[in-house]
Structure 1
Amino acid sequence: MPAPSVRPRRRPRTRVAGATLLAAVLPLLACSGNPSATSPGPPLTSGSPPAPAGTHTASPTRTLDGNTVMNLRLTIDGQQIDAVLNDSATARDFATLLPLTLDLSDFQQTERIAYLSRKLDTSGAPEVSHPQAGDLAYYAPWGNLALFHRDGPRSPGLIILGRVTSADTASAIERLATADRVTIETA
């Protein structure tokens, strides 16, 4: 009886295909931008060299969720408050006016308002916003900036530009409630 021929064993194609798929997908998962991922991911700054001490730049910052914001400094009665602008068209247009100093007045014991030198671009803005204490907003029908020290009602024509981010946000919002003048500049 002749000896049975022995065929060389081939690796199953599924292992090769699986390994190829895994090699292709792993780099994508590592770059997913998921803030809960264990790798630190890309740096949060724009990559610009740091500005010399005492100067202010309008460099945007990328947050962990991938949004772009611009850091601001509000000065009220000599005290600084940190804030950020979001990446909306209206916020970017507002940033072109900076630095600026505004006289504030109370509106409905909820917000301090000041009229800007010109109307801002409102393209792509939501029709209605629900402001919260600490929000910086633009009321398009009147052309004014609003700094909220209390939560406000849903407002058609109100566009949220950013918000207070100071370490002691509650104290910063209290200062907004009585502010008569504010200087806003990039940080």
Structure 2
Amino acid sequence: MRIRLTAGETVLTATLDDNATARDFASLLPLTLRMDDLFKREKYGHLSRSLAVGGEPRFGYGIGDIAYWSPGPDIALFYAHDGQSIPDPGIVILGQIDSGADAFKKYDGTVDVTIEAID
């Protein structure tokens, strides 16, 4: 599934993976999340509920990854890499931003991000 992420003047596209967690996330769309900054590497936002288990937990990430962190339950948009790993229980990758994830660097602190399906 293709999605659009909009934050202020920034509009990015992404592709969700085909796993149960990503499909459950897609069922919440469209949504707008208030996303905070963490470690100058990611924007994260709190979901209204936990997502289904089904994607493989990972302890690493790449720039442009859209990930689910179950203890939150939060999603994260990774726009930089600081060399650190993700603590237990890890993250489930929901999808990848096609390009331009570093645009989130310009939003110091909190930013509202709207996420919607485009397929």
TM-score (norm 1): 0.56
Aligned-pair CA distance for 1:109: 1.4
Match of 1:149 in 2: 79
1:82 aligns with 2:13: yes
Where is the strand percentage greater, Structure 1 or Structure 2?
A: 2
Match of 1:178 in 2: 106
Correspondence list, 1:5-154, <5 A: 70-123=1-54, 125-151=55-81, 153-154=84-85
TM-score (norm 2): 0.86
4+ residue runs of structure 1 moved beyond 6 angstroms? none
Tell me the distance in 2 between the aligned counterparts of 1:151 and 1:122: 26
Superposition CA RMSD, Å: 1.5
Tell me the distance in 2 between the aligned counterparts of 1:130 and 1:178: 23
Give the % identical residues. Answer: 38
| Structure of larger gyration radius | 1
Tell me the distance in 2 between the aligned counterparts of 1:150 and 1:103: 19
* Bigger relative CO (Cα 8 Å, ≥ 6 apart): 2
Where is the helix percentage greater, Structure 1 or Structure 2?
A: 1
| C-alpha contact (below 8 Å) 2:17/2:95 kept by paired residues | yes
Q: Which amino acid aligns with 2:48?
A: S
Match of 2:94 in 1: 161
Match of 1:7 in 2: none
Question: C-alpha deviations, 1:48-81, integer Å up to 9, x for none?
Answer: xxxxxxxxxxxxxxxxxxxxxx101111113320
What is the SS of the residue equivalent to 1:94?
Answer: helix
Aligned-pair CA distance for 1:162: 0.4
Tell me the distance in 2 between the aligned counterparts of 1:183 and 1:173: 15
| C-alpha contact (below 8 Å) 1:76/1:175 kept by paired residues | no
Unaligned residue ranges in structure 2 (runs of 5+): none
Tell me the distance in 2 between the aligned counterparts of 1:177 and 1:74: 15
What is the SS of the residue equivalent to 2:102?
Answer: helix
Q: Which amino acid aligns with 2:105?
A: A
